[in-house]
Amino acid sequence: MASDVLRRNNVKVSGKGTRPMMFAHGFGCDQNMWRFVAPAFEEDYRVILFDYVGSGKSDIAAYSPERYASLDGYAQDVLDICHALELSDIIFVGHSVSSVVGMLASIREPRRFHSLILIGPSPCYINHPPDYVGGFERSDIAGLLDLMEKNYIGWANFLAPAVMKNAERPELSRELEESFCSTDPKIARRFAEATFFSDNRADVARVRVPSLIMQCSEDSIAPLEVGQYLHRNLPGSTFQLLEATGHCPHMSHPDETIRVIRSYLNNTKEARRGSSS
Amino acid sequence: MDDLLNRAPCGFLMFTDDGRIKAVNETLLRLLGHDAEALTGQHLETILPVASRIFYQTHLFPLLKMHGRAEEVYFSLRTKQGEDVPVLVNAQRRERDGAAVYDCVIIPMRQRLRYEDEILEAKREAEEANRIKDELITELSTPVITVWEGILLAPIIGSLTRERAEQMTDALLHATVERRARVVILDITGVRTIDTAVVQRLVQSVAAIVLLGAECILTGVSGAVAQTLVHLGLDLSGIRTRRRLAEGLQYALEIAGSGHKQ
């Protein structure tokens, strides 16, 4: 059964260390997005990459609209992998929506997790005036769904397979085979809805695992105010404002991303040593 | 900027890895109603409506970062006057002074968009019609009739796909319990094709019915179906077969009748 889960979620394990470090991709992508960052941790950790069911090279046949209608279904994917690999003391690195997925998984099985590293997190993307500014109105998300649908009309074009048949640069074709975006438009749409319509503000206070909030400068998806809100309400959280701009620092500014994660992990290691002595 | 590119009949825009606009051609400036000074150095997101910003961050930027290029991507640009212009974009990464920049060619597509909207609407209607049809077929395809007290008849017509076989099993088991059936007749006279996976499922549903305390009779077995059954080498001891439905009915009445006498 364990091997079923590993196949289902296209789980890839690498690295020389023993402590597991699990990288969870965000909406719109798959595990390939970690390729500028994850290798840096292979020397010291057991690096675990995976695709959520419905993304990347996961087993699409295992997709269930009911299960993945909410982020709990995605959190179950994370826990299924933890069980299959018998992981504990996990450093969970989640980008964007996976930050919430990691929080949900850690609430259900707190003992499995060492810490959560949250890159561009938001507990709720929709505005709830007057108390909460998530950054978006429901109509904005409807606009996104419409954009996605129109781009999926020319789905083949969107992935640009024709230009990738480039004999001089075979590495490009290989990359394309490791398909990049979510493959099925209906699944992508449901993932978008689960991501942007979820309100997990009530779950934030229930997290019992220490965490690092990595807040980008000028992030239009997870703006500064949202990161600060999360820091105020997330027990045991450390807040780090990055120089990196945008929403994908692990792709646009991998060096800074690696540096900040390393320094947080070293600090928690020392803090633990300090408290135990 | 090269004069040809500046006046080309398409928008041109160059931006950096962190989304800053480095250059814009005149055609695009005219479309957006901005002047070059106002846009250069600004973040690309300043000319994107909210939905397009999310799309840029979650799809386009990762795509460019991972593959170095993107083709025929659709989103909208916002003009200085606040109007949204639907555009198609081709983008490509290249090195410039040691840093990555992205060159984009941008073409407004107002007319074509209307056509695509119509296609999408037609597609949605077709999908909805299909869904209704499927539901109807599902409802119609697995009737379970009480022909006599304690005797159920399930006539199966057409091709027995895996999906239908599953529905049929569900309906049959439900009816067997609900209507306290003593005998269940599966009539496959109208079945045209059957494959081994389906036969296996059929045998399983028969076994389940037997477990529920009812007898199961398979009627209308054609030569081809009989061959499949035999080839499979399945244990058919739990299944009684009769060639014609009438014979099956007669047999069922005997069993049910003997039950009444007890």
Of B54, B63, B119, nearest to A144 by CB-CB distance is B54
SS3 A49: strand
pLDDT digits (tens, 9 = 90+) for B207-221: 888 888 898 898 988
pLDDT by residue (tens digit) across B32-67? 999 888 899 999 999 999 999 999 998 889 888 888
Question: Catalytic annotation on A96?
Answer: yes
Region of poorest pLDDT, from A26-30, A203-207, A273-277, B172-176: A273-277
B197 has a pLDDT exceeding 80: no
Give the bridge partners for B75, in sequence order: B87
- To the nearest whole Å, the CA of A269 is away from the closest chain B CA by 32
Interchain proximity B61–A136, CB inside 8 Å: no
Q: Are B112 and B118 in contact (CB under 8 A)?
A: no
Active site residue A247: yes
Q: What is the DSSP string of A166-198?
A: -TT-HHHHHHHHS--S-S-HHHHHHHHHHHHH-
Of A217, B215, A76, the closest CA to residue A225 belongs to: A217
DSSP bridge partners of A124: A199
Name the residue among B149, B177, B158 with its Cα closest to residue B259: B149
Among B65, B72, B120, select the one facing A158 at the smallest CB separation.
B72
Examine the residue annotation and report whether A275 is marked as an active-site residue of this protein.
no
- DSSP-derived pairing of the beta strands A20-24 and A90-95: parallel
Indicate the residue of A27, A143, A163 with minimum beta-carbon distance to B69: A163
Contact A75, A99 (CB under 8 A): no
* Structural contact between residues B220 and B243, judged by C-beta atoms closer than 8 angstroms: yes
Q: How far is A208 from chain B (nearest CA, A)?
A: 29
Q: Are B136 and B115 in contact (CB under 8 A)?
A: no
Q: What is the mean pLDDT of chain A?
A: 88
Distance CA A93, CA B139 (A): 47
Assigned token pair, B183: 């005998």
> B255 versus A49: which is more confidently predicted?
A49
- Report residue A179's pLDDT band, with 50, 70 and 90 as the boundaries: very low
pTM, to two decimals:
0.74
**Number of neighbours of residue A10 by Cβ within 10 angstroms:** 19
**What is the percent of chain B with per-residue pLDDT over 90, rounded to a whole number?**
37
Amino acid at B46: T
Nearest-CA residue of chain B relative to A136? B50
> What pLDDT score does A199 carry?
96
Question: Rounded distance, CA B214 to CA B206, Å?
Answer: 9
The answer to whether B218 and B240 have CB atoms below 8 angstroms apart is yes
The amino acid that residue A10 corresponds to is N
Cβ distance of B120 and A158 shorter than 8 Å: no
Lowest-confidence range among A6-20, B24-38, B246-260? B246-260
Residues of A in contact with B18 (CB under 8 A): 244-246, 252-253
Residue B191 identity: V
What is the length of chain A?
277
- Separation CA B232–CA B200 (nearest Å): 8
Half-sphere exposure of A63 (CA within 13 A, CB side): 22
Q: What is the pLDDT averaged over residues B218-232?
A: 79
Percent of chain B with pLDDT over 70: 95
Taking an 8 Å cut-off on Cβ atoms, the answer to whether A143 and B50 are in contact is yes
Residues of B in contact with A119 (CB under 8 A): none
Calculate what percentage of chain A has a pLDDT beyond 70: 86
CA A174 to CA B204: how far, in whole Å?
A: 44
User: Between chains, do B71 and A157 touch, taking CB under 8 Å as contact?
Assistant: yes
Q: What is the pLDDT of residues A63-115, one digit of tens each?
A: 999 999 999 999 999 999 999 999 999 999 999 999 999 999 999 999 999 99
For range A124-132, the mean pLDDT: 94
Residue A4 CA from chain centroid, whole number? 22
Reference B105, options B137, B72, B129, B81; nearest CA is B72
Q: Which among B51, B66, B73 has the least Cβ separation from residue A32?
A: B66
Phi, psi of A228 (to 5 degrees): -70, -40
Average confidence (pLDDT) over B233-248: 79
pLDDT at residue A158, as a whole number: 47
CA B90 to chain centre: 29
Select from B48, B54, B64, B93 the residue whose CB has the most chain A CBs within 10 Å, as the one to mutate to test that interface: B54
Which residues does chain A have within 8 Å of residue B62's beta carbon, measured at their own beta carbons? 28-29, 33, 180-181, 248, 251
Contact at CB, A158 and B58, closer than 8 angstroms: no
